[in-house]
Amino acid sequence: MIAAFVGGTVIALNAVAHQFQAGAAAAALPAPTESPSAPSSTPSVPPSPSDTAVPAAPTAPPVPPAFDKTAHSIDDPNSIWVVVNKQRPLADGANFVPPNLVDLPRDMPDPLGYMLRSDAADALHSMFAADKAEVGTQLIAQSGYRDYSVQVRAYQHYKDALGVAGADKTSARPGFSEHQTGLAMDIMDTSSGCDLETPCFGSAPSGVWLAANAYRFGFILRYPADKTAVTGYEYEPWHFRFVGVDLATEMHNTGVETLEEFFGLPAAPDYAG
């Protein structure tokens, strides 16, 4: 009702409405006093019994909505939440190729030309820029997407040299590598002198910063120092996994370090056989 919002003109418009009510259009016009939101100069009408008969909703204190742990699949290899470990190979791993693989932007050192999924690549780009701004170092994308055939060759190389037990400590079996998801990147920098063989990077300025700040960009440190029995991998201060900002932030805020613990999955210290 326009009349309801214009104060002193209510009476005049009501009069017009009453004139219409006398005519053929009367049935289509609501009575001027029916609008419950109408600020009116006329005395307010007490609510009728039917207005108060509806029970009020329980007034629980407001709580933030619980994090939805089912928002993405942890089984679908296309999902940014897929959990891959020694007990959870990629589904159809011999044939799986992640969607939207892209080369990294040219301003990111990527000496071996590894690709990532586009969403992970964008986040990595932002993280490299933030490290440069906040730490002053230059990060390097050391190893990203590895396809199944590359993993077959890598594992075979170590198996020939070290045997199965030795190879399993060094390289994921084909179909069990998080690198095949296109969501994992091994990160180094140009100044620490560290490599992918020792924990050195974990105490370098960039490694410390990444461990504390990667969640802001949707990454988690996938193989923390004290979680080998859960993840099946030794401490890898260079290996970061993209899971999206929502999940990475939730894990950061709740202090849960591994995907296995967060999703209530069994520990995966070793292969089934």
Instruction: Tell me which residue has its CB nearest to Zn ion.
Output: 239
Decide: is 186 part of the binding site for Zn ion (CB under 5 A): yes
Query: Judged by CB, which is closer to Zn ion: 137, or 180?
Result: 180
Give the integer Cα–Cα distance in Å for 246 and 240: 16
Nearest-approach distance from CB 57 to Zn ion, in angstroms: 50
If binding means CB under 5 A, how many residues of this protein chain bind Zn ion? 2
Nearest-approach distance from CB 81 to Zn ion, in angstroms: 18
The Cα-based distances of 225 to 81, 99, 111, 230, 234 in angstroms read 22, 31, 27, 11, 7
Two structure tokens written together for 165: 């037990």
The single residue among 146, 173, 227, 239 that binds Zn ion, judged by CB under 5 A, is 239
Catalytic residues: 236
Query: Judged by CB, which is closer to Zn ion: 239, or 262?
Result: 239
Per CB under 5 A, which region of 27-35, 56-64, 150-158, 234-242 contacts Zn ion? 234-242
Query: Judged by CB, which is closer to Zn ion: 137, or 181?
Result: 181
**String of DSSP letters for 29-64:** SPPGGG-TT---SSPPPPPPHHHH-SPPPP-PPP-P
Decide: is 124 part of the binding site for Zn ion (CB under 5 A): no
User: Nearest Cα to 144, choosing from 106, 177, 116, 110?
Assistant: 116
Two structure tokens written together for 271: 């292969």
Nearest-approach distance from CB 241 to Zn ion, in angstroms: 9
Nearest-approach distance from CB 196 to Zn ion, in angstroms: 8
User: Nearest Cα to 139, choosing from 188, 73, 195?
Assistant: 188
By CB atoms closer than 10 A (0-12, 13-18, 19+), residue 172 is buried
Query: Judged by CB, which is closer to Zn ion: 186, or 260?
Result: 186
**Which residues of this protein are in contact with Zn ion, per CB under 5 A?**
186, 239
